[in-house]
Structure 1
Amino acid sequence: MSDNNTIRMSRVLCDFLVLTLIAIPLYIFHEFVPPHRRGFYCDDESIRYPFRKSTVSRQMLIVIGLLIPILLILATELFRTLAWEKKCEQEFKTYHVRNHSVHRLIVRLYCFIGYFFVGVCFNQLMVDIAKYTIGRQRPHFMDVCRPNLGYDQCTTPDVYITEFKCTSNDTKLVHEAQLSFYSGHSAFSFYAAWFTSLYLQARLFRPLFSRLLLPVIQFLLFGGAAYVSLTRVSDYKHHWSDVLVGAIMGSAIGIFVALFVAEVFKRREIPSSSNPNEFGLIRMDRPENSTTNGNGSNTIVSTQHVIVSEVDPANQRLLWTSSGPASKNYQDDRYMDHY
């Protein structure tokens, strides 16, 4: 996009090309790369748990984990456009594709949802690199593989068995049973929770109906991520350390993409017409320098003001005084930098 806010189709096509190139390694990993083959000790109880179906399946996670953030982003941008920005539309950028105008809502959705999907690819690529490189066995590995050595009888518990053959005919389950580290469910759910929470914190720059609504939504996002992660341990799909590392990696990628790639706080687009009184801010008076009356005594005349109400961290607008009334108005990140 050029400086005059004209959207170039070549740049849009380049964005989709980059996203496709990022997704190609994911397909290669899942279809052609075998996981690293590790051995085991026959008395290792951590891999002898029974096989269970997942409480949160992979398909369910993808649908819910993608649908909820997209719906929240869509609802946020619609609310801003239709409710908050009606009286100050002239302050925002206008966009064009050749001779056709493009509403800023479309550009915003393209920007934030696009960055969200880029982060999804980053996150999954890191998961697959770890899974296929390490090849750690899941807690139900023995039940799924049923190796010809060390499964029924454990006569040599000190021997690390590497030459074994799985007697199970379900090759897909055997393949998946060697991809324990680290948890993709945990990483994805925490990535989505962090990205969406930071996005909402930045774009909803003032209270939304109630001051409690936004924190409740953010808490539910992290609560859902924690629930998904904990089910991976209770379903014997992952070791607790797999889930912990997955949560850490997903959180780190979510924070990084939101703050440094999508730059959600630099793209807050806070209009100058925002009413600071909506934040419950109070103006207070303080005494001015004393003056002398006719009798020679000092009288305090209250004409100097302490500006308490003008510090608005959510709106990033600061009004201050040096020696008297406020004289300077500073606002950061008033407009979208670029898309």
Structure 2
Amino acid sequence: MLYFQLVILAGTVMLAYYFEYTDTFSVHVQGFFCYDSALTKPYLGGEERSAVPPALLYALVAGLPTLMIMVTETVLFLVQYTSKEFDRLETTVATGDCCYLNPLVRRTFRFLGVYTFGLFTVDIFVNAGQVVTGNLAPYFLTVCKPNFTALGCQQALRYISHQEACTGDQGDILRARKTFPSKEAALSVYGALYLAMYVTCTVRAKGTRLAKPVVSLTLVCLAFLTGLNRVAEYRNHWADVIAGFVIGGAIATFLVVCVVHNFKGKLLLGEDPPPSPSQDPLPGGSVLNMGRVDASLEKYIASQIWNADKGFMTMEADFQEPHRLR
């Protein structure tokens, strides 16, 4: 099953790569109305000039959960490891038939593997939505630079549907056609919710009753501010950001609840399970079982002897009855 899961993860990564860095899936060309005020917002430059540039966002989304999960799992493992006797704990678990993994490594890779899978899943969902809809950014007409006179835009309600209407930079135009849903909003909410639920479900130390809500709400607030920044910089519509929030939150909730089951599981394998009623815990269990069998045999033999004696006495009485009559 481990190899099968790795194959699924590799396929997810490849699909996200094809969506992100190749032209395998062409973007739907959506038309626009002449002088549409919703598409004439100013263009503030490339994504790297944003208040939350992609490099910073991706570093936080990938690095912060990884660091926090590794540190938390290590601390919890050490606390539990030192709180019990060494000879009463089993510190390794089997993985397949070839190797053994420490429970710390197993849990950490499980949670981070699911998180990584979710990241690429969010990216695939977002890219699929952007390719299918081709929704236009608020600054689309600014970078499109259409010749309204040549297009016959004497009336503002005239609809332009052909791709050749734009005369601006083709790279900027392509990015302006891929805004629904917002990738930045989806990734930020996914990372924030996954990490918030991890902290809430895993950390159960005393004195964290208020610390856990503060950390969780801080993460969610940062993700919310990321979506607001996209709207404030005219890079996305409100509908784009809300759709990104829904996608990221739904995938994070599904993975936490249905896949990792609210991060339940022991850091260390507990003590040996109690023997079932069908098993004898004593080393001399076989002798006791033989004793029970011998006792049953003795009862059976005694009952047979008693029945035989009773039958013999009955036959003897029948034989003596005629002599008494004489």
| Alpha-carbon shift at residue 118 of structure 1 (Å) | 0.9
1:181, 1:242 within 8 Å by CA — same for their partners in 2? yes
CA–CA distance in structure 1, aligned partners of residues 40 and 151 of structure 2: 11
| Alpha-carbon shift at residue 152 of structure 1 (Å) | 10
Q: For each residue in 1:273-313, what CA deviation from the matched residue of structure 2 results, as whole angstroms up to 9, or x when unmatched? A: 9xxxxxxxxxxxxxxxxxxxxxxxxxxxxxxxxxxxxxxxx
| Alpha-carbon shift at residue 95 of structure 1 (Å) | 1.7
1:42, 1:151 within 8 Å by CA — same for their partners in 2? no
Q: For each residue in 1:168-218, what CA deviation from the matched residue of structure 2 results, as whole angstroms up to 9, or x when unmatched? A: 2x32211110011111111111111111111112211333x4432211111
Local SS of the residue matching 1:111: helix
Local SS of the residue matching 2:83: helix
Counterpart residue type for residue 57 of structure 2? L
2:43 aligns to what?
51
CA–CA distance in structure 2, aligned partners of residues 240 and 232 of structure 1: 9
Counterpart residue type for residue 131 of structure 1? Q
Residues 62-71 or 86-95, more deviating? 86-95
CA–CA distance in structure 1, aligned partners of residues 128 and 92 of structure 2: 42
1:34 aligns to what?
26
CA–CA distance in structure 1, aligned partners of residues 73 and 105 of structure 2: 9
1:203, 1:268 within 8 Å by CA — same for their partners in 2? no
2:285 aligns to what?
none
Q: Where do 1:267-286 residues align within 5 Å? A: 267=265
Q: How many residues align?
A: 261
| Alpha-carbon shift at residue 237 of structure 1 (Å) | 0.7
Under a length normalisation based on structure 1, what TM-score does the superposition of the two structures give?
A: 0.71
Q: Where do 1:327-338 residues align within 5 Å? A: none
2:91, 2:268 within 8 Å by CA — same for their partners in 1? no
1:17 aligns to what?
7
1:95 aligns to what?
93
| Alpha-carbon shift at residue 148 of structure 1 (Å) | 2.8
CA–CA distance in structure 2, aligned partners of residues 198 and 264 of structure 1: 8
Structure 1: unaligned runs, 5 residues or longer: 1-10, 274-339
2:80, 2:268 within 8 Å by CA — same for their partners in 1? no
Under a length normalisation based on structure 2, what TM-score does the superposition of the two structures give?
A: 0.73
Q: For each residue in 1:60-88, what CA deviation from the matched residue of structure 2 results, as whole angstroms up to 9, or x when unmatched? A: 21111111111110111011012244213
Please identify runs of 4+ aligned residues in structure 1 that moved more than 6 A: 150-153, 270-273
1:107 aligns to what?
106
Superposition RMSD on alpha carbons, in Å? Answer: 2.5
1:61 aligns to what?
57
2:188 aligns to what?
189
Residues 184-193 or 18-27, more deviating? 18-27
Structure with greater strand share of residues: 1
1:142, 1:151 within 8 Å by CA — same for their partners in 2? no
Local SS of the residue matching 1:139: coil
Q: Where do 1:199-218 residues align within 5 Å? A: 199-207=198-206, 209-218=207-216
1:243 aligns to what?
241
Label 1:94 to 1:40 Cα distance change in 2 as closer, same or farther (>3 A). same
